[in-house]
Each structure stands twice: as structure tokens, then as C-alpha cells.
Amino acid sequence: MSLLELKNISKSYLSKVGNFQVINKLNLSVDHNQNIFLFGPSGCGKSTLLNLISGLDNSDSGEIYFGGKLLKDHFELLKDDIGIIFQDHYLISELNIFDNIKLKSNDTRRIEKILSYFDMTNFKFKYPNQLSNGQKQRVCVARSLVNKPKLLIADEPTSYLDKENAKLVIDLILDSSKKFNLSTIIASHDISFRPLFDKSYTIEDKSIIEC
């Protein structure tokens, strides 16, 4: 049984010139402990698809199954089973790193364990403005994993990073997939990461294509 299954998912938005369809009858299956790479140019629908999977947006039609169950409300999934890494870090500048992660979970032992695994224990009392962009994104990876999710979604997590730090973040995500037994869906325009993943897809003509 797949961890995640999308069946005939469609999504459109109302624009000044009428209805603009982004995704049309899209189907996708993600297995347990599988790493998926999603690439394509800006505007092709990558972020829309990830938002639909994570529950940050709703589809017009179609069904999404998680762990074999039809999803009707994403709230519990977002709290426990799905971790999200955004393009921007969304760290609160007035809070240190430990307290930023604690907003996601009160399990201080788990936070300590994650920070130790990522070799970031020395960051925990620092503030976001004291970290580099690469360090901030590493914190975001840690924050996304603190609730022990089954699926990690990342939307262009390396877009603000140089090549070296981008590779470090992707490696960190994929290593975490093995360490914590989770599936990942990573969207990026940088196709150099494609060989690192189990499967790769792009969105063309409002549908998803394995390639």
C-alpha cells in the first residue's frame, strides 16, 4: 500500500481573464520511504501540487489518500504526519533557534535529539540573524522533522542558497529520510539533484510525467 495517493486531482484559480487551470486530473503515488524529485520551470504547478498534498490548499476535484485513508481534513496530518520546508525559513527573529523549533513541538528531548543529529546543538541559543542562509535552512529541516512525520515536503528549499549549501541541504533531507524512515517530495528547478532521488517527475500540460 502506498503512503500517499492522488487520484484525478484538478485545481484552477480565478484570474482577471477567467478560470486558469493549473492541474487537470493528476494522478500520483508515493511509496513508504521513497524520495521523489519534482522539477520544472516556475509557474508549471509544482507549488500548487505541494500545497494540495500538504493541505495548504484544496483541490477542485479528485481524491487524496494517506496511509490508505481518504483525506477529508488535513489538520491532524499537518500536526503529526507531514513536515513542510518552505522556500523562506519563516523563523521568528525574536526567538532563539530552540524556541523557534519548540513552536512546532513541546518535546524538548526530541528537539535536543534532532539538533544533535544535525550537529546543530551549538545553534540552539542563537537567533536567526546570527545564522547564515544555509544554517537557517538546516534549522528548517530540523523543525520539519521534530514531530516525526511520515512525509516531508519541501518547496524549492535551496533557492536562496549557493551550490555548496544547496547540496548540503538536499543531502541532509535525503539522509534524514533514511534515518527517520520517511518519504520526501522535493520540488526544485535545479535538475542536477535529480539522480539522487528514487523517482523524478515534471508537470507538463497540467499533468505529471515521470522522467
Q: What is the pLDDT of residue 171?
A: 95
| pLDDT band (50, 70, 90) for residue 76 | low
Report CA 8 to chain centroid distance, whole Å: 21
Q: What is the mean pLDDT of residues 43-48?
A: 90
| pLDDT band (50, 70, 90) for residue 36 | very high
Cα 207 to Cα 158: distance, rounded to the nearest angstrom: 24
Q: What is the pLDDT of residue 148?
A: 92
Q: Which three cell numbers stand for residue 211?
A: 522522467
Cα 162 to Cα 77: distance, rounded to the nearest angstrom: 32
b/e burial code for range 49-68 (CB count within 10 A of at least 16 → b)? bbbbbbbbeebeebebbbee
For residue 186, the 8-state DSSP code is: E
Q: Is the pTM of this model over 0.85?
A: yes
The β-bridge partners of 154 are 85, 186
The more confidently predicted of residues 43 and 158 is 158
Q: Which three cell numbers stand for residue 21?
A: 487551470
Indicate if the pLDDT at residue 113 is higher than 90. Answer: yes
For residue 77, the 8-state DSSP code is: I
Indicate if the pLDDT at residue 17 is higher than 90. Answer: no
Give the residue among 6, 54, 33 at the shortest CA–CA distance from 208. Answer: 6
Cα 124 to Cα 96: distance, rounded to the nearest angstrom: 7
What are 93-107's pLDDT values in tens digits?
999 999 999 999 999
What are 129-140's pLDDT values in tens digits?
999 999 999 999
Cβ(113)–Cβ(146) under 8 Å?
Answer: no
Q: What is the mean pLDDT of residues 43-60?
A: 92
Q: What is the pLDDT of residue 42?
A: 84
> Among the residues of 41-96, which ranges form H helices?
46-54, 75-76
Phi and psi (nearest 5°) for 117? -60, -40
Q: What is the pLDDT of residue 121?
A: 95
